[in-house]
């Protein structure tokens, strides 16, 4: 897990671009203006999300009254063509979402078009489209492409990166300017899939807040599907899958649970989840005093950004001499926090120690945002892969979650790997995750896997080079 976080150290200090939406414009207008500004690419000096005005919802109309997933802003991100292999074009979308308190919120996702899609035409136009339309809506900036062909992209993967921090400037839409940290985005693009990477922690960087993350992930898919047809995705046949590992699996699992109530009409082919953390209090106890102890203050500040009573309580109970040290995580990436707090007893930062993190106000927060398995049962296929010796989360918590879902009719393939740690399973599980995702996205799932009930295997996959 620590190697996983260290890979993010450089990645999560990156840079974006800009195109504001000063009026409530149509989606085609937003797309036209985004392409016009970045084609040919203009490489302006990037700003972090905390300083970039683009990361704010429009102020010229009441965006709160729009539907979840509604695209509010669009801009090109041409630098990603160079930092993410196999990328043809990339766009960033700011969209309406819903936070953990079910209040209107906004989030950002990055949608990346695969390089092999370059030969695909634009379905919104054909060779006879006029470039002198009298409509008040500007024509699409590429009106002369040929009609759509069957070869074009048929799949969208929403890929939730584990960024594990309460620092909004470590959000994926910003960090991707330093590259694809694990190579999985590039691999998905090489298969011809559209890839969306949401900033699922939202504008408050609400790390570990499950409901916020699930809503943001689902609404990110809604937003991408609004624009993907204009980029050539064959919406009439396109399948959608979601994938995440570790912190990314947190967002993906909550999306799976919440999809039943929050997005009942959304057609999702499947969810792939690796390195799950089903119980936030259990994870805290697991990590305290270990090399990953820095994720505890990150998680407490992240989840409490959705629960202000708990946030006030946390800050009030910090020992005065240690308060600023603890609160410094708000400016750190996950890897920086791990280095700063490794092997420390995080409970010692609080006046009442362990008990301060288990009061009624804290328990209320955990009950809403910290425990998987209580907000709905996934109605689509799920693949779960986890190392039995995962040092971040007790495998018994994952087993219990699977048992809970299987007892009420879920369709789950669950691999319990007998070798490796949390970080090593990131590598060990990748080929199996890709194979499973390909099956749900190309329609071969019914031929390769059981479509009813749950299938649970103890497996031994040892391809990570540092596994002994």
Classify domain 280-369 at the CATH topology level. Answer: 434 Repressor (Amino-terminal Domain) (1.10.260)
Domain segments of the chain: what residues? Answer: 2-128+138-268, 280-369, 382-459
pLDDT of residue 127: 37
Q: Tell me: the pLDDT tens digits for 100-159?
A: 999 999 999 999 999 988 776 555 444 333 333 333 333 333 333 344 454 567 899 999
390 is catalytic: yes
pLDDT of residue 38: 63
Say which of 164, 199, 422, 439 is annotated catalytic. 422
pLDDT of residue 56: 96
Least confidently predicted of 124-133, 294-303, 324-333, 389-398: 124-133
The CATH code of the domain at 2-128+138-268 is 3.40.50.1820
Say which of 35, 219, 390, 397 is annotated catalytic. 390
**pLDDT over 70 at 14, yes or no:** no
Say which of 173, 246, 304, 305 is annotated catalytic. 246
Band of the pLDDT at 337, cuts 50, 70, 90? very high
369 is catalytic: no
Q: Which residue has the higher pLDDT, 292 or 22?
A: 292
Average pLDDT score, the chain: 88
Q: Tell me: the pLDDT tens digits for 345-373?
A: 999 999 999 999 999 999 999 999 999 99
Give the Cα separation of 79 and 77 in Å (integer).
6
């Amino acid at each position: 897990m620590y190697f996983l976080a260290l890979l993010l150290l450089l990645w999560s200090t990156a840079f974006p671009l800009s195109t504001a939406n000063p009026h409530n414009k149509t989606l085609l207008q937003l797309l036209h203006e985004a392409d016009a500004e970045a084609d040919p690419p203009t490489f302006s000096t990037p700003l972090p999300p905390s300083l970039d005005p683009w990361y704010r919802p429009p102020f010229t109309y009441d965006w709160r009254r729009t539907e979840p997933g509604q695209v509010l802003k669009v801009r090109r991100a041409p630098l990603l063509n160079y930092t993410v292999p196999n990328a043809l074009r990339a766009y960033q979308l700011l969209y309406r979402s819903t936070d953990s308190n079910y209040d209107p919120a906004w989030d950002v996702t990055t949608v990346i078009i695969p390089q092999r899609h370059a030969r695909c035409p634009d379905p919104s136009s054909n060779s006879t489209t006029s470039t002198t339309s009298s409509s008040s809506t500007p024509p699409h900036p590429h009106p002369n492409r040929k009609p759509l062909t069957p070869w074009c992209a048929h799949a969208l993967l929403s890929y939730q990166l584990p960024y594990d921090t309460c620092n909004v400037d470590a959000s994926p839409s910003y960090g991707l300017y330093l590259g694809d940290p694990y190579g999985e985005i590039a691999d998905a693009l090489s298969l011809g899939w559209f890839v969306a990477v949401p900033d699922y922690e939202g504008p408050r960087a609400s790390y570990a807040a499950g409901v916020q993350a699930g809503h943001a992930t689902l609404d990110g898919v809604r937003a991408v599907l609004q624009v993907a047809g204009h980029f050539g995705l064959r919406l009439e046949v396109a399948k959608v899958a979601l994938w995440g590992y570790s912190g990314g699996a947190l967002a993906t699992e909550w999306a799976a649970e919440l999809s039943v109530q929050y997005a009942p009409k959304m057609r999702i082919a499947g969810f792939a989840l690796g390195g799950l953390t089903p119980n936030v209090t259990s994870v805290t106890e697991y990590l305290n005093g270990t090399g990953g102890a820095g994720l505890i203050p990150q998680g407490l500040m992240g989840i409490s950004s959705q629960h202000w009573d708990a946030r006030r309580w946390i800050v009030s109970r910090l020992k005065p001499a240690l308060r600023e040290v603890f609160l410094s995580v708000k400016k750190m990436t996950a890897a920086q926090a791990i280095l700063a707090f490794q092997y420390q007893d995080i409970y010692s930062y609080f006046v009442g120690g362990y008990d301060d993190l288990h009061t009624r106000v804290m328990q209320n927060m955990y009950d809403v945002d910290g425990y998987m398995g209580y907000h709905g049962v996934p109605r689509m296929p799920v693949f779960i892969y986890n190392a039995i010796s995962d040092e971040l989360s007790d495998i018994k918590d994952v087993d219990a979650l699977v048992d809970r879902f299987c007892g009420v009719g879920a369709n789950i393939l669950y691999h319990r790997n007998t070798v490796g740690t949390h970080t090593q399973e990131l590598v060990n599980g990748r080929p199996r995750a890709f194979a499973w995702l390909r099956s749900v996205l190309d329609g071969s799932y019914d031929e390769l896997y059981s479509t009813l009930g749950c299938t649970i295997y103890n497996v031994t996959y040892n391809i990570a080079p540092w596994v002994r």
